Amino acid sequence: MTQSDFNPLRTERLTLRPLGPADAAELHRLINDWDVARWLSRVPFPYSRELADEWIESTHRQRAAGEAWHLAIVGQEGEKEVLVGCVGLMRQPESRSAELGYWVGRRYWGHGVAAEAAGRLARWGLANLDIDRIVASVLEENDRSAGVLRRVGLRESGTGEAHFLARGGRLPVRLFEGGREEIAGPFTEPEPIKPVSVAATATTPVVEGKPLLLVAACALVDVDGRVLLARRPEGKPMAGLWEFPGGKVEPGETVEEALIRELREELAIDVSAACLAPFTFASHDAGRFQLLMPLYLCRRWQGTLTATEGQQLAWVRPNKLADYAMPPADKPLVAMLRDFL
């Protein structure tokens, strides 16, 4: 298998990419170091050169099987790309979570590399794998790594025990976990809450002291009666959840105008207002704002449906909608669609 089965993830200073055979010598040099290996549960010490080859080979198999994503953390030294460490996510499908692990070569410590890489992979995982939580554990006295996890957004959730190969026994660990809310990306800025444009009123509707956010959404239904869901991409709040295409109603727009615009922007299709049938609505307390989301049904559109924002799309039978993780506001809508379609 080649390295091209995974698009590298980038951060300000780093690239996270699949490991290749050419990384083996440097990986071996960095990890065959007691100061690195002694903190890691699955790494033996001493660490042989052959093990580096075998490990790299196994990361491709695990990724192809959808079990784990172990990536090289690559940095820049002048013009040169250098292997700095590794970061990985191992899926735990039964609990819709993934375990985060990482290590950084000793000479690269103290620069925030681990948090930068681990945060990026955690956010990617929440947006792209079917998981809702990231979990991790660190050896009890590993305060440095606990600090990394906190910076990523995980919180300490308990204690446990794990086997540490390099130490030859079970040792106490501190457990960490976090979900979409905590493992926020650079988007943690509060979402812009704009005054809604209801008949150009002079006042912003406020529900129980909270601003009202008006969002127009649409269930596109194809000839087989399937409904289109779109996955919120990494970088947006609630990334990884599936939703109905749509978006915020901008000042001066009607709900239908907003929806027609959003469908053109997100899916490159043209819909006329006459083809938007009002179906139902969601009213949801989203914490900082009250979400009011009219949901329309639409069976006719023009143009070839295209995911213009790189978002994943899925045509889903109504009785399968509940299998997709969606924002809490959508749950009642799913039940109504299932009964109606």
Ligand X SMILES: Nc1nc2c([nH]c(=O)n2[C@@H]2O[C@H](COP(=O)(O)OP(=O)(O)OP(=O)(O)O)[C@@H](O)[C@H]2O)c(=O)[nH]1
Residues of the shown chain interacting with ligand X in the complex, contacts defined by CB under 6 A: 191, 215, 217, 236, 238, 243-244, 246-248, 262, 291, 293, 327, 329-330
Nearer to ligand X, 86 or 321 (CB): 321
Nearer to ligand X, 60 or 248 (CB): 248
Give the nearest distance from C-beta 262 to ligand X in angstroms.
Answer: 6
Give the nearest distance from C-beta 210 to ligand X in angstroms.
Answer: 13
Nearer to ligand X, 205 or 247 (CB): 247
Angstrom distance (rounded) from CA 281 to CA 283 = 7
Nearer to ligand X, 116 or 256 (CB): 256
Give the nearest distance from C-beta 26 to ligand X in angstroms.
Answer: 40
Nearer to ligand X, 104 or 258 (CB): 258
Nearer to ligand X, 118 or 282 (CB): 282
Give the nearest distance from C-beta 109 to ligand X in angstroms.
Answer: 37
SS3 letters across the chain: CCHHHCCCEECCCCEEEECCHHHHHHHHHHHCCHHHHCCCCCCCCCCCHHHHHHHHHHHHHHHHCCCEEEEEEEEEECCEEEEEEEEEEEEEHHHCEEEEEEEECHHHCCCCHHHHHHHHHHHHHHHHCCCCEEEEEEECCCHHHHHHHHHHCCEEEEEEEEEECCCCEEEEEEEEEEECCCCCCHHHCCCCCCCCCHHHCCCCCEECCEEEEEEEEEEEECCCCCEEEEECCCCCCCCCCEECCEEECCCCCCHHHHHHHHHHHHHCCECCHHHCEEEEEEEEECCCCEEEEEEEEECCCECCCCCCCCCCEEEECHHHHHHCCCCHHHHHHHHHHHHHC
Nearer to ligand X, 162 or 341 (CB): 341
Give the nearest distance from C-beta 294 to ligand X in angstroms.
Answer: 11
Give the nearest distance from C-beta 291 to ligand X in angstroms.
Answer: 6
Give the nearest distance from C-beta 10 to ligand X in angstroms.
Answer: 20
Which residue number is nearest to ligand X in terms of Cβ?
A: 247
